[in-house]
Homo-oligomer: A and B are copies of this chain.
């Protein structure tokens, strides 16, 4: 499959990713410099550029694991393609759980002073997943398919951000419930209640 990798290459890349993660937790992604990374990883400058074009490239390359996780979560989720279909959005709970496990990293990436790069990357991965999930659903005259995908992904990220920034007490299940409530029913019910 993947060509066999020279041990030195593997070691270098691992060191760089590790250094980036440490630094993200310590000072936030935006302000990190290449110098910081190679100092932390104890890797030569030219070696860095032999592997990545910059810190954005390095960050991006670290998202395969997340992608794999989501794809699998989607496969393992209870996809009962018949029934009341409250089991839709099979990815969400798994990802909320993943987010709690790596809370610090997620918060550093997705939170206030986070990285556009990371958020866009997550957005793209999620879009694929949701798109696949909606493939069995028939079209809607009012709202095009891709809008619905973006809506779902956007709402997910809204919840994720809100959760990580302020209310870490809530369990993944609780947050997931709110997420589903919003995505499926919107805020109409609670707004319109008051007459």
Contacts and interface: CB of A to CB of B under 8 A. Distances in A.
A27 interface: no
Contact of A82 (B116, B161, B193, B195): B195
A191 B186 contact: no
Contact of A192 (B85, B136, B187): B85
B192 A142 contact: no
Contacts of A143: 178, 181-182, 187, 190
Given A162-B150, A188-B185, A177 B138 contact: no
B158 A154 contact: yes
Interface in A126-141: 134, 136-138, 140
Contacts of A184: 186-188, 191-192
A72 interface: no
Interface residues of A, number: 42
Contacts of A155: 151, 154-155
A194 B83 CA distance: 9
Contacts of A157: 154
Contacts of A42: none
Contact of A151 (B88, B137, B182, B195): B182
Contact of A140 (B85, B147, B154, B190): B190
Interface of A: 82-85, 88, 116, 134, 136-138, 140, 142-143, 146-148, 150-152, 154-155, 157-159, 161-162, 177-178, 181-188, 190-195
